[in-house]
Amino acid sequence: MGDQRERNRIKSKVDDLPAEVRDYLDSKINDVSVTYEEIAEEITNMGYPIGKSSIGRYAMRQNAAAKRLKEAYEKTKVLVKTIHENRDIDSSEVATAILMDALTTRIATAEDEFDDMPLDKAGRLVAALQRSIVLREKLKFEFTRGVDVAITKLKEQLKAELAKHPEILEQIYKVMDRVVEQAKA
């Protein structure tokens, strides 16, 4: 397999700061009129020595996290709107679309990680995605078949009940056929 890159959590001096000092740092980072050097000097004067580079790296991580949250929020708003406008949309399709979007984004930004990913793990991921697609199609098929069986039984019962009123029976059949087509779409 070769040497795999070791993944470590980011540890910075900011993590060692007390909560109230970190809150102060967060408020100062959002103030564009204050430089990282000035922030570092203020925090150092509070008794917590820290450099402007540490603050700059922390600010970049915070901004990246905020950007990801904002993007996720915007995607969620679009999904909720789409679901609201299309009541017939299948929630499992939405969940699969969200997962596929996240995986596609991850794939696009993780070249090195995929180079190091064991082939069997990549194969399992692809197989799992394929299984979910097949299962969804199977559920759709079974639903459609169940609708067809239920409609056939209902038509038989209506035919027996409304044998003396063929014009009403014909109208009911037309309505049922339209409903079935809408359910299958």
Tens digit of each residue's pLDDT (9 = 90 or more) over 119-137: 777 778 778 878 888 888 8
Q: Please, what's the largest Cα pairwise distance for the chain? A: 96
Place of tokens 């740092």: 25
On the 0-12 / 13-18 / 19+ scale of CB atoms within 10 A, 171 is exposed
Alpha helices in 51-90 (DSSP H): 52-85
What are the residue boundaries of the structural domains of the chain, listed by start? Answer: 9-66
Give the lowest-confidence range in 113-117, 168-172, 173-177. Answer: 113-117
Per-residue pLDDT tens over the stretch 23-55: 888 888 888 898 999 999 999 999 999 988 888
Length of the chain: 185
Above 90 in pLDDT, residue 71? no
Instruction: Give the span between the Cα atoms of 4 and 1, in whole angstroms.
Output: 8
